[in-house]
Structure 1
Amino acid sequence: MISDDKANQVADELLAQVRSQRPQEPVLLFYRSPQLMALEPALRAEVLRHAQRLLRTDPKVILALLLYWGAVIACLLAWDGAHAATLAIAALAPVLLVRSLLVRGTARRLAAELLSRG
Structure 2
Amino acid sequence: MRFLFLLIILIPALDIGVLLLTGKTIGVWPTITLIILTGIIGAYLAKREGLQTIRRVQEQLSYGQLPGDALLDGICILIGGTLLLTPGFITDVTGFLFLFPPTRKPIKFLIIKMWKRRINKGNIKIIK
Higher relative contact order (CA closer than 8 Å, sequence separation 6+)? 1
TM-score relative to the length of structure 1:
0.36
TM-score relative to the length of structure 2:
0.34
